[in-house]
């Protein structure tokens, strides 16, 4: 008879599969609850941020209304847009509704700038005061955003401001009056362009950071599930590396690139989650199989060596047991094809097994298979590979040729 380890393919019963599916659904519910909690917290932060921005914009409108040349109608449209932004922020229940509030706030800001330009045109102040007001509008914009989002217009406007300032210094009022209207139009358009593009960029950043935080939490949760179940991490370390790349792109202020990568990672995480749940279910089934065997061993004269339990990197599990006579048995449960699992039964030996010992091992394996069947598993007949045993990753080496050479995932 072959010196190969004896093994059987085993499949979980429908009842066991239903229980494992229920456990999977519980994990999915927990992940969904965590995701909803994180989304709720992110929404609260976004609403608070927009509420602060609306208050700041309202203060700017109020200051403009105090200008001597301002009239009540100047800011009617801007204040109405601010009120829409305030209501939208207060009732926003998701990212799309937050975006509505952001657009309303952006509209209010554009209307305020238009009103400021009109008040400036209406002003009867000295030319120097008009120029100071123009500079005040430009000072509202971040210098870096001006050169980033509207570089050509920024340079043109700055040159025009210098030209008119020089004209005033030289007493050339005619040149000033000829160009002030053009400058006002340029400043208003420049302000609107920078404000709009900066708001779009800020929304890209907010969305990308929110997505990154969610993906990081998902990767951490899946990794914790895998570690708790002692299953292989698979591609989760790769996902962590991708998160690092996304973080670097965010740090470099490249939110669109970060978001493109985040979307691809999110799709892959859906697959990884499914793969992990399947791996956890199959490992749980293998643990139950090994548990059934352990329960049956004492009735066959074997005591389990408590220090012999091992987990292979491929998800295999195994243990050793001994009789008082010193006779040893190694049992390794591995993943196999489709829904099956493979249970390897081995005797520690430094060389080929004698025919009597081989028959004894086969009989012992059949007895243990009977215990599996009684516990709801469908165990096939005991057989062996003519090509000899295969090694089990992570199993203790050095006990004999049979043990060293078993167990890679078939």
Distance CA 115, CA 113 (A): 5
What integer pLDDT is reported at residue 1 of this predicted model? Answer: 43
Q: Please give the CATH number for the structural domain made up of 6-15+285-404.
A: 3.30.310
pLDDT higher than threshold 70 for residue 290? yes
Give 294-350 pLDDT, tens digit per residue.
Answer: 888 898 889 999 888 888 877 888 989 998 888 888 888 888 766 788 888 887 654
Distance CA 217, CA 199 (A): 27
Domain boundaries defined on the chain? 6-15+285-404, 40-202, 210-281
What string of DSSP letters covers 66-126? TSTT--GGGGHHHHHHHHHHHHHHHH--SHHHHHHHHHHHHHHHHHHHHHHHHHHHH--S-
| Contacting residues for 111 by C-beta, under 8 A, at least 6 apart | 75, 77, 78, 81
User: What are the structure tokens assigned to 199, written together?
Assistant: 């708001």
Segment 263-272 mean pLDDT: 93
Segment 19-43 mean pLDDT: 84
Average pLDDT, the chain: 81
Segment 237-241 mean pLDDT: 93
Distance CA 177, CA 173 (A): 6
State CA 181 to chain mean position distance.
Answer: 51
Segment 109-136 mean pLDDT: 77
Q: Is 330 helix (H, G, I), strand (E, B) or coil?
A: strand
């Amino acid at each position: 008879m072959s010196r190969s380890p004896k093994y059987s393919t085993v499949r979980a019963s429908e009842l066991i599969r239903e229980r494992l599916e229920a456990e999977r659904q519980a994990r999915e519910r927990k992940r969904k609850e965590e995701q909803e909690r994180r989304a709720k917290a992110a929404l609260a932060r976004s609403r608070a941020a927009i509420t602060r921005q609306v208050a700041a914009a309202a203060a700017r409108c109020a200051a403009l209304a105090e200008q001597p040349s301002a009239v009540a109608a100047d800011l009617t449209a801007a204040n109405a847009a601010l009120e829409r932004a305030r209501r939208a922020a207060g009732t926003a229940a998701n990212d799309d509704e937050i975006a509505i509030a952001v657009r309303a706030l952006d509209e209010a800001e554009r209307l305020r700038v238009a009103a400021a330009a009109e008040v400036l045109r209406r002003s009867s102040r000295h030319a120097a005061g008009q120029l100071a007001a123009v500079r005040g509008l430009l000072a509202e914009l971040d210098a870096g955003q001006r050169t980033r989002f509207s570089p050509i217009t920024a340079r043109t406007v700055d040159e025009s401001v210098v030209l008119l300032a020089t004209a005033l210094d030289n007493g050339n009022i005619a040149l000033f009056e000829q160009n002030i209207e053009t400058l006002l139009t340029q400043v208003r358009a420049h302000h609107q362009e920078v404000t709009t593009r900066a708001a779009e960029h800020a929304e890209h950043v907010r969305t990308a950071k929110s997505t990154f935080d969610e993906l990081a939490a998902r990767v951490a949760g899946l990794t914790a599930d895998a570690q708790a179940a002692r299953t292989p991490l698979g591609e989760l370390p790769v996902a962590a590396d991708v998160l690092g790349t996304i973080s670097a792109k965010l740090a470099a202020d490249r939110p669109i690139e970060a978001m493109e990568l985040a979307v691809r990672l999110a799709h892959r995480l859906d697959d990884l989650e499914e793969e992990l749940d399947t791996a956890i279910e199959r490992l749980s089934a293998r643990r139950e199989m090994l548990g059934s065997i352990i329960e049956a061993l004492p009735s066959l004269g074997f005591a389990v060596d408590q220090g012999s339990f091992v987990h292979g990197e491929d998800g295999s599990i195994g243990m050793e047991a001994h009789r008082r006579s010193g006779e040893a048995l190694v049992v390794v449960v591995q993943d196999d094809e489709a829904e099956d699992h493979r249970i390897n039964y081995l005797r520690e030996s430094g060389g080929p097994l004698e025919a009597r010992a081989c028959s004894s091992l086969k009989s012992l394996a059949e007895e243990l298979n009977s215990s599996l069947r009684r516990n709801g598993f469908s165990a096939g007949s005991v057989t062996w590979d003519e090509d000899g045993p295969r090694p089990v990753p992570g199993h203790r080496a050095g006990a004999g040729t049979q043990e060293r050479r078993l167990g890679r995932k078939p």
